[in-house]
A and B are shown apart, each in its own frame.
Chain A
Amino acid sequence: MTDVTEIPPVDPVLEPDVPVAKEGLWRTRIRLWNRSFTKNWEIFSRNRLGVAGVVFVAFFGFLAILHPILMATVWPEEIYDPVRGNDTVILEKTVVPDGEVTDPITEISFTEAMIFGNFFPEEGDVVLVGQAPAPPNSAHLLGTDPFGRDILSQLMKSSQAAFTLGVIAAVSAVTIATTIGSVAAFYGGWVDSWLMRQADLILLLPLLPLLIVIGSLYEVGLWQLGLLIGILSGLGATAIILKSQALSVKVKPFNDAARVAGGSNWHIITRHIMPNVLPLSFLYMMFEVVGAIFLEATLSFFGLLSIPMSWGIMINTAHTQGYTLFGLAAWWLLFPAGLSVTLFGAGFFLIGRAMDEVVNPRLRAR
């Protein structure tokens, strides 16, 4: 018995004065988070493609942040505004007879002069012709679009829109899907079958045609589209995937322990099931962003959304203004926007794949 009295039992709850836990609970949590973050980053950074994804996303984040700064300091609004700006390069050209144009920069044919608004040109006249789209030059590093607007500025503004849409869609989808998945897995029975049949139904909806019709009937902006995609995907595919994860969490013994300790259903769902589904939720957030961006760009490409500027709209402008088949000859119209959507999507996709290896150890290279 002497041993026991010499070493007094330590119970911080019953005897709060005993100096056992010097640091607060929050500090412990941060330390644990920090440790798991460092460990997971180690696994993540072993996947070089994943790191490349982070670089892509960071690059577009940089563009998005840079835009308002440039607009406030060096870019005058009437020229560089992505929607209303205009800087058409005016060239002085001499009118020559049709078919005798030798230098297209200084000479213009009779017919072309008429097309460009000089209704009664005469040979030898000097006419002013606006040049848009203009190829890249010192004022416009990526040239201008067919309406004389700066491509670089549009690109930056569009990356803001992309981040906004991605975040709205991903957060709403994953919030809904995590809740639904956990609830369905926890309660089972008719709650489960109702929610899962509903998910099956939504999975069946042809999303793009439906959004095309919705976009033509109603005014759909960035927020509406993000929420729409988020809700449809959160109730559909993502819910099914997260539910299967929640099911495997539900059978773990700590839930029974929480139940024995008097935890309510809601307590178990929010404190024990959801936190363990969250890693997978984060993973699906990344894929959600990719899906949302591609849908937005496709719908904008069809000209069905009321968004001021996005990569899809830039491609739509080049397409509808007849520069589809110019290819490399007018590369600044099609390539920056197309590459941006691709790299942005690829960035999140690669991050998602690398995170998959962190979450799912079976995928790691042997």
Chain B
Amino acid sequence: MVRYLTIRLLQMFVLFLVFLTILFFLINAQPGDISAQFVGNPDIPPEAKQILRERLGLDQPLFAQYLFYIRNVLTLNLGVSFDHYPRTVADILLTALPRTLYLFGIATLLSYIVGFQTGKMVAWRRGSAAETGTMVTSIILYTVFYPWFAILMLWFFGSQLNWFPLGKFLTPAQWFDAPYTANQVFNTMLLSMFLAGAGVALVVWGTGKFVAEPVPRTRARRILFALIAISMLAFWLISPMSRYAADIAYHTVLPVTTLTLVFYAAITLLTRSSMLETLREDYIFTARAKGVPEKVIRDRHAARNAMLPVTTSFVLAIAFIIGGGIVTESIFSWPGLGLTLLNAVNVEDLPVAMGALAFIGLLALFAHLVADVLYAFLDPRIRVQG
């Protein structure tokens, strides 16, 4: 497993370099350079332009510039924003990153968990009214034009019913004398979510390893899950941050729901067809012949194997999730990486735009790695090949 991980990490690094190369040539394929901006300005003599080009390293050969660029990105030296002038690009992007991770993380997890369960149930009860209903809803949600759907959600729940705020991720009036910065609260929320997730994974792994009998195992899991939930609740009830965290959470509901609904539909459709394929396998027939209870066949024999294509689909879904995330951030004014990228593109803030693109690429690579590791964990056949 360690060897597998090392190889994957190395591959990821090479892929990231290739991605950066594409970015570099994307910028350099444009005619002229920064000094061309002053071509019509008589106050700037050619010598000054030459000095500018020398100082920015633009007189160097292209390959040297390319090496500079790679080195700068790898050391997070992404330059200074044109639009928010004295702020560095790295600062802007690192501020936006946790917000995007939060949005993506919750939406992805929720949609995978709920979508997998729904798809499983629906495939099991093929031909029922519930199946037809779920399928129609899922196909509608899956094919709906996402930006339009998000606008309608914003209009209906934000404006018509007035249940949720219209945008941004906090109410400025509440934060006027807050002792924390928004990102401190954000990072705490992310960290606690991560700890809870890690706890759940640990419980599942631990009980699976050390408790052999299925009934006490389920009981132990329930107790430990409840413990995790209670400790999380207790932490947020005691913490003085909770007032601000609640504000952020309130702003999160609508964008996360919108994003989740669309992925959820895709996962449901995929799980259903994957389950239907699995249910025709011979081992399901064998299990039935042995007299294994139907629920065990569904959950142990069919759903576990149906999970593989769904996990693979995560790799394909990454691009989809990132695209959906950008649209969501734009419509709900959620100040994450996607909105940063769009704003930078609109005001031609090139350093920020390229930096955001590099960050999003890195995010995609990381998600890819997670999917790979998960896949290797789920399918022993992959691990053997190393």
The interface of chain A, by Cβ under 8 A from chain B, is 49, 201, 203-210, 212-218, 237, 290, 294, 297-298, 301-302, 304, 311-312, 315, 319, 324-327, 334, 337-338, 341-342, 345-346, 349-350, 362-363
Contacts and interface: CB of A to CB of B under 8 A. Distances in A.
Contact of B151 (A206, A319, A350, A363): A319
A215 B345 CA distance: 9
B315 A208 contact: no
| B interface bracket (residues with beta carbon within 8 Å of A) | 35 or more
Instruction: Name B's interface SS.
Output: helix
A217 B28 CA distance: 11
A315 B148 contact: yes
Contacts of A218: 30
Contact of B145 (A319, A326, A341): A341
29 contacts: A201-B18, A203-B316, A204-B361, A204-B364, A205-B361, A206-B361, A206-B363, A206-B364, A208-B326, A209-B341, A209-B361, A212-B326, A213-B357, A216-B348, A216-B353, A217-B26, A290-B143, A298-B147, A301-B147, A315-B151, A324-B151, A325-B154, A325-B159, A327-B155, A334-B152, A346-B139, A346-B140, A346-B143, A363-B276
B368 interface: yes
Contact of A327 (B152, B322, B365): B152
A213 B158 contact: no
B27 interface: yes
Contact of A212 (B142, B147, B341): B341
A298 B327 contact: yes
A338 B145 contact: yes
A356 B300 CA distance: 28
A302 B330 contact: yes
Nearest to B364: A206
Interface in B195-210: none
Nearest to B127: A365
Instruction: Name A's interface SS.
Output: helix
Contact of B280 (A201, A297, A327, A362): A362
Given A302-B342, A324-B155, A327-B160, A213 B354 contact: yes
B151 to A, nearest CB: 6
Contacts of B327: 298, 301
Contacts of B322: 206, 208-209
Nearest to B14: A201
A341 B280 contact: no
Contacts of A207: 319, 323
B148 A341 contact: yes
Given A204-B361, A302-B342, A334-B148, 15 more contacts: A204-B368, A206-B319, A206-B357, A209-B341, A209-B356, A209-B357, A213-B26, A213-B341, A297-B147, A298-B147, A301-B327, A327-B152, A338-B149, A341-B148, A349-B142
A219 to B, nearest CB: 12
Nearest to A302: B342
